[in-house]
Each structure stands twice: as C-alpha cells, then as structure tokens.
Amino acid sequence: MMKITRVIDPRFPSNTFLCKPIKNLINRYIQVGKWIDPFANNSIFNPVCYKTNDLNPRFKTDYHLHALEFLKLFETDSIDGVLFDPPYTLRQIKECYEGFGVTLTGHESQMFYTDLRNEIARIVKPHGICISFGYNSTGVGKGREFTKLEILLVNLAGIHNDIIVTVERKNTTLDNYLS
C-alpha cells in the first residue's frame, strides 16, 4: 500500500535536500547500494552517492554532463537508486541549460523528462529505487515497470507550489505476475 504524507515547511531552503522532511525520507532509502544523482548541485548526499553529475562546473561532482549523457554512462540494471531532482519546468530547463551554453533541441524541448525517465528505467536494478522531485507525482511511472511506494507533499505555504517527492521501486517480471 502506498503511503502519502503532507507536511508544511514555510522555511524551505534553496537546496531541496536540506528540507528536513525530504532529507529524512532520502536517508531512509539511500543507505544501501550504488546511488547516482544526475542533477547533484551541491547536495548533502553527494558524498554517499556512487556517482554525481551537474552541468555547472562550479559544483564538486564526478561529471559535468547533460543529464541524459550522464545516465547513458551506466550499464542496464546496474544502479540501486537514483535521486532525480531535475528542473521542474520547461522554462527552468531552458534557463539552466542555456546558462551553460547548451541549446535545447526541439526534441529535447518535447522529450526531456521522457528521455531521462527511460534511461533511469533502463539502469535501475530490479527492486531498485528512484526518488523523484517536482510539481507532479509522475515519477518514472507504471508504464516503465515502477511501483509507487511513497509520496511526500511538502507545502511551502503562501503562493509557492508544493514540492512533490515520489518514491518508486522497479518491478521484476515476478512482481508484475503477482500484482
């Protein structure tokens, strides 16, 4: 059964992972295995991630690649978990990438999230976890054989959008048969 929790945190920090309820949720899952973060920024979880990436070379990450290029570095079914905290809107994506001289193609403008989710689904091991962040609870998705375990709604109060954190587990063929 999926768990849904809603918290109010009007003191939301500029770094998503410093929000106490989000930090606590990640800590419950990230303790085991190889985790990666394709949009790592200066995350407090960088030291415990197997590999990190951020387009911005100012951040101390293992790679400074387009997130899709980073995800393509990994073998199929080789990663235990992904922290997936991309820019939340197409406008944010455009500003972020163009700020580093990367022009988004028409395909990327249409398929940015889809392409990333497809790669995440490919590289996460069966029973692996993806923790997604954004303004919706889409996550990687049932169509890519992921099952939602938990949703955390972080209400930032006032006129701010809620941050929605979706925790999913990758199914196996047996899981699909039994459900």
Report yes or no: 32 and 179 within 8 Å, Cβ to Cβ.
no
pLDDT tens column, 18-38: 889 999 999 999 988 999 999
Structural domains of the chain, ranges and CATH numbers in brackets: 3-178 (3.40.50.150)
Query: Average of pLDDT values for 129-136?
Result: 95
What does 7-24 look like in DSSP terms, one character per residue? EE-TT--SSGGGSHHHHH
pLDDT tens column, 165-178: 999 999 976 554 44
C-alpha 135/C-alpha 151 separation (Å) is 12
pTM equals 0.89
Copy the structure tokens of residue 44.
Answer: 């407090």
